[in-house]
Structure 1
């Protein structure tokens, strides 16, 4: 299978596209002439992104933005149905952290929370929506908080794969990018739930890679540490010392569009 950017314009589905890395990647890909399908749980952020990408000279919008919660199997099933109906099977699926995931944890935490951005799925299904637990030893992490991390970071990806891989199998081509993390390849104190979820993403990716037919690929992608609102909530003012989402997206878009079936099962870093 040739590199995706070697065959013209592509349709890219990005989950968690309302803010941060997801939004930055959507803007960069649209700038390069690709069609973006974005989803997130915050409709007003999607409306803002759609407005920014709208072409006044075009009779109809090229891009599509839909509200969806990757933690819900039913929500992802409906997302797949609408995407197929309006755009057909996307060439690339990319997942990013939804801004609302932060609000879920704000209800249960009483002190600052460490967070790490993750970008998840790539090539046709890319799963990236994710969240992190507050800084706490595992025995001090509330059950609700642990469940939120697993439901978003692991089950969210599984839901996307469940409903989009069958659509891709018809053509036996496409690349899925699952947003991982450096903490999915190492351990760290106080964020055990998050580390566990990202190790799960790595294992899930390598296992699914063995189930896909020739011509398809699934990749675990570590975006590194990027200066976003989420990083600032964890690192404080020191977050400004890291690269901006726009700079990351410039590099990430090139890497993603150049992935091929030969990359199946790889763990990569932007």
Structure 2
């Protein structure tokens, strides 16, 4: 687990924690937030990709990137401990870590693959909220964004495990929103259709006709930074 030297931002800058920060939407969002002067706490299972991202972030020493597996409750608990130790409790959390099953009918999806999708997409979100909401409550305000999907509001053949996980994220987000004190918002955010590795696994080469994570992050960063307690319980789309 590697840490960077760390300093707080001043003024209107926020501290934003992004899971799954080493690739796809999480990586693009972290880069965009850093360009706008915000501090990023990022986590991923790939130390090599974290090292690469660290060098690309604006003002690299401002950010904290850690090797964490959100599927592991103890790993997330250790992340929370380090964040508390450095006194950098996030203002915003974006639960972006996610995975998808290979295209298959449900009876052809290996049990281990189904478990990986649920453990990452659902338990990962729950683990983060379990350990970070108690840290955020004393601040009396905070935003939690749980990445959902259009397939968390509909269904699609061959990706039933993924659909199930994102429907769970929608329900989990709405339920936890009702548990939060005033000043907080928990929202489910569908990014739309983006040309990521996950989309490529479903759509193949046709994924290239959709927007890039970098283009998406321009709009997504603005939306996420402008969320308020009034958005609590909402299911949004960028």
The two structures have a TM-score, normalised by structure 2, of 0.92
| SS state at 1:247 partner | helix
Describe the SS at the equivalent of 2:70: coil
**C-alpha displacement of 1:230:** 3.0
**Contact 2:15 / 2:88 at 8 angstroms: preserved in 1?**
no
Residue by residue over 1:45-87, the C-alpha shift from the partner in whole angstroms, topping out at 9 and shown as x without a partner, is 11111111264xxxx8111110000000000000111122224
Q: CA deviation at 1:44?
A: 0.8
| Equivalent pairs, count | 228
What SS is found at the alignment partner of 2:186? strand
Structure-2 change in CA distance of 1:65 and 1:87 (3 Å): farther
| Pairing 1:124-135 to 2, within 5 Å after superposition | 127-135=95-103
Cα deviation, 1:81-140, whole Å, max 9, x if unaligned, reads 11222242111111xxxxxxxxxxxxxxxxxxxxxxxxxxxxxxxx22111112222222
* Post-superposition offset of 1:236: 1.9
1:161 paired residue number: 129
For the aligned residue pairs, the C-alpha RMSD in angstroms reads 1.3
1:76-225 matches, cutoff 5 A: 76-94=76-94, 127-225=95-193
1:17 aligns with 2:21: yes
Q: After TM superposition, what 4+ stretches of structure 1 lie above 3 angstroms from structure 2?
A: none
CA distance in 2, matches of 1:29, 1:242: 22
How far the C-alpha of 1:169 sits from its partner, in A, is 1.1
| CA–CA separation in structure 2 for the residues paired with 1:230 and 1:194 | 10
Partners of 2:53 and 2:100 lie apart in 1 by 25
TM-score, normalised to structure 1, is 0.82
Give the counterpart of 1:51 among 52, 55, 61. 55
1:66 pairs with 2:70 = no
**Structure 1 residue 233: deviation in Å?**
2.8
User: SS of 2:65's equivalent?
Assistant: strand
Give unpaired runs (5+ residues) of structure 1: 1-6, 95-126
Aligned position for 1:103: none
Say if 1:48 and 1:253 are closer, same or farther in 2 by CA, change over 3 A: same
